[in-house]
């Protein structure tokens, strides 16, 4: 292996949008080349192989490259880091392709074109170090969600909300499952099991995407990969996207700055994480923040907007359960929240409340202010009931009365999001927006809490976006934090 070849491998490993040995695509959209494998059909982004590949050749070359790489790493006395392994692996792939090319010529077969060599090298490299046949889909800036129901049934949800067909991601369901098992086990930081005994998988991928998968308990392997495209996002950005009005944005901005505790609720995919990022953008950069997630999705610790961000990620256990019902190595959000009290945090941000971890969240809200969390619910009032149920999962000592009184005393606002899919002329589109914002307070004995719709969807508002309804007197003070009270009253039809 020559030093020139290793240098070429290093260059491509550091920038996977270019492969110096082979032909490059011609940019079609300004300075950015199209993502590998993207073609246009009827104006929609759709992934079909731009250069058809023989996946049996890819599998063969991957096996050979993997064996050579393992031998090289074992022979090297100094432990190679991941980047060095990728450089070495790519140079091995290039050598294997050249050898395969020579063999094809010697046997009278047609030589691969530069584009075919390019596609083959990328596919083998992705199979070795990335997400295999899923990688081009994850790399496409227009793809937001990848929905898989079996190896050959793939739907892509684009950032404009449309749904288009995608290519097969394996040659069989068994191959797809084998790849998921490999993917789950190779994580250097948070490896997870995936087997008949553990038929569900939740995994954070390189680059921040989230993968959820199920097999053995479903007719065919089911996979959903969510890509969060809006990382550096603000409330003004969401106003531009018509997710909420400018007045509602000013209210939420002021609520965050006034250190109100907020729960963002909605169905799956409604944009809860995106809204939480926008709310967190209003937190002072010098405040100490803790984030608590089952898989990292908020990425506040990577955005560098805040100087101090401690990010916790839950970890599932493995093996048999002990006497206490825990598996070895298990680390829960509940434990992370309890530990966080030693970190002098100003804010606790919980990616999603699913169960008894809400009790630790309540403690965080009692010991500090300005916490933010999310949960799944059909409407804002239902979110309150959901949180009460979650709190009661902490044990029999948490009664319904105790849970409701604690929530009413600690949670200030609930922001409800909605997601609707419509199909026009065979093209599906999705829209996300804020439907209501309610204020929560202690209430009558029967319920334990009282709710006030500060913003609600009006029948006269065809867009469905929440508009001013009833403003509790104590929230008028948010004007000192930038709340547009005159705008609120004007939209409400009340003279300011």
pLDDT at 37: 34
Model confidence, pTM:
0.73
According to CATH, where is 3.40.50.300 located in the chain? 235-492
* Mean pLDDT rounded to a whole number for the chain: 81
* Helix residue spans in 219-299 (DSSP H): 235-240, 246-257, 272-280
pLDDT at 24: 29
| pLDDT at 240 > cutoff 80 | yes
pLDDT at 149: 95
CA–CA gap between residue 21 and residue 11 (Å, rounded): 11
For 209-218, the pLDDT digits (tens) are 889 999 999 9
pLDDT band (50, 70, 90) for residue 5: very low
Contacts with 142 (C-beta within 8 Å, 6 or more apart), sequence order = 38, 45, 158, 159, 160
CA–CA gap between residue 125 and residue 92 (Å, rounded): 10
- CA 311 from centroid of its chain's CA atoms: 15
Residue owning tokens 């090319």: 101
User: Between these two residues, 188 and 272, which has the higher pLDDT value?
Assistant: 272
Contact 446, 405 (CB under 8 A): no
Minimum mean pLDDT range among 60-64, 276-280, 329-333, 413-417: 329-333
Residue 122 has φ and ψ, to the nearest 5°, of -65, -45
pLDDT at 468: 94
For 373-432, the pLDDT digits (tens) are 999 999 999 999 999 988 888 788 888 888 899 899 999 999 999 988 777 777 667 788
> What is the mean pLDDT of the segment spanning 137-158?
90
Minimum mean pLDDT range among 92-106, 141-155, 299-313, 314-328: 314-328
| pLDDT at 26 > cutoff 70 | no
Contacts with 74 (C-beta within 8 Å, 6 or more apart), sequence order = none
Q: Which CATH number fits domain 133-229: 1.10.10.10, 3.40.50.300, 3.40.50.10300, 3.30.450.90?
A: 3.30.450.90
Handedness of CA 239, 42, 48, 177 (dihedral sign): positive
| pLDDT at 267 > cutoff 70 | yes
> What is the mean pLDDT of the segment spanning 241-252?
94
> What is the mean pLDDT of the segment spanning 251-271?
93
Residue owning tokens 């609707």: 420
pLDDT at 51: 64
| pLDDT at 307 > cutoff 50 | yes
CATH superfamily, domain 235-492, is P-loop containing nucleotide triphosphate hydrolases (3.40.50.300)
CA–CA gap between residue 33 and residue 18 (Å, rounded): 9
144: number of CA atoms within 13 Å, CB side? 17
Residue 2, number of CB atoms within 10 A of its CB:
9
Q: Percent helix, strand and coil across the chain, each rounded to 5?
A: 40, 25, 40
pLDDT at 75: 75
Residue owning tokens 């093209």: 427
Q: Beta strands 347-350 and 288-293: pairing type?
A: parallel
For 349-378, the pLDDT digits (tens) are 988 887 777 877 787 777 667 899 999 999
Contact 491, 484 (CB under 8 A): no
DSSP calls for 126-166: HHHHS-GGGHHHHH-TTEEEEEEESTT-EEEEETTS-EEE-
pLDDT band (50, 70, 90) for residue 148: very high
According to CATH, where is 3.30.450.90 located in the chain? 133-229
pLDDT at 38: 33
| pLDDT at 92 > cutoff 60 | yes
| pLDDT at 80 > cutoff 50 | yes
């Amino acid at each position: 292996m020559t030093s020139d070849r290793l240098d070429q491998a290093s260059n491509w490993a550091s920038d996977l949008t270019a492969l110096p040995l082979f032909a490059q695509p011609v940019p079609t959209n300004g300075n950015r080349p199209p993502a590998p494998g993207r073609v246009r059909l009827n104006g929609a982004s759709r992934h079909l192989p731009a250069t058809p590949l023989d996946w049996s050749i890819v599998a063969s070359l991957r096996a050979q490259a993997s064996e050579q790489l393992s031998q090289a790493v074992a022979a090297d006395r100094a432990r190679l880091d991941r980047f060095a392994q990728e450089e070495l692996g790519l140079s091995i792939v290039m050598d294997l392709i050249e050898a395969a090319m020579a063999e094809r010529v010697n046997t009278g077969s047609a030589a691969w074109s530069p584009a075919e060599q390019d596609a083959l090298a990328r596919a083998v490299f992705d199979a070795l170090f990335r997400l295999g046949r899923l990688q081009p889909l994850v790399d496409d800036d227009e793809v937001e969600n990848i929905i898989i129901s079996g190896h050959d049934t793939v739907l892509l949800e684009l950032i404009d909300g449309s749904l288009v067909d995608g290519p097969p991601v394996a040659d069989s369901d068994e191959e797809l499952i084998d790849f998921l098992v490999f993917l789950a086990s190779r994580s250097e930081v948070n490896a997870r099991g995936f087997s008949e005994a553990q038929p569900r998988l939740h995994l954070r991928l390189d680059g921040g995407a989230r993968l959820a998968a199920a097999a053995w308990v479903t007719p065919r392997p089911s996979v959903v990969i969510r890509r969060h495209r809006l990382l550096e996002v603000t409330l003004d950005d969401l106003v531009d996207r018509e997710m909420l009005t400018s007045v509602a944005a000013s209210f939420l901005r002021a609520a965050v700055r006034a250190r109100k505790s907020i729960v963002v609720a909605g169905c799956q995919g409604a944009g809860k994480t995106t809204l939480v990022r926008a709310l967190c953008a209003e937190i002072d950069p010098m405040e100490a923040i803790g984030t608590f997630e089952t898989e990292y999705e908020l990425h506040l610790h990577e955005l560098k907007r805040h100087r101090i961000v401690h990010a916790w990620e839950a970890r599932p256990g493995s093996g048999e359960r002990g006497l206490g019902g825990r598996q070895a190595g298990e680390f829960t959000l509940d434990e992370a929240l309890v530990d966080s009290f030693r970190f002098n945090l100003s804010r606790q941000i919980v990616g999603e409340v699913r169960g008894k971890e809400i009790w630790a969240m309540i403690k965080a809200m009692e010991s500090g202010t300005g916490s933010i969390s999310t949960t799944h619910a059909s409407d804002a009032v239902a979110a309150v009931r959901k949180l009460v149920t979650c709190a009661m999962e902490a044990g029999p000592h948490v009664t319904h009365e105790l849970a409701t009184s604690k929530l009413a005393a600690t949670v200030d606002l609930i922001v409800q999001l909605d997601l609707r899919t419509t199909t026009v002329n065979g093209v599906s589109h999705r829209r996300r927006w804020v439907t209501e914002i309610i204020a929560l307070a202690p209430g009558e004995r029967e319920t334990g809490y009282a709710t006030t719709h500060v913003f609600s969807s009006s029948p006269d508002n065809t867009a469905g976006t929440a508009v001013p309804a009833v403003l509790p007197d104590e929230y008028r003070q948010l004007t000192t934090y930038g709340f547009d009270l005159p705008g609120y009253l004007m939209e409400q039809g009340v003279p300011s």
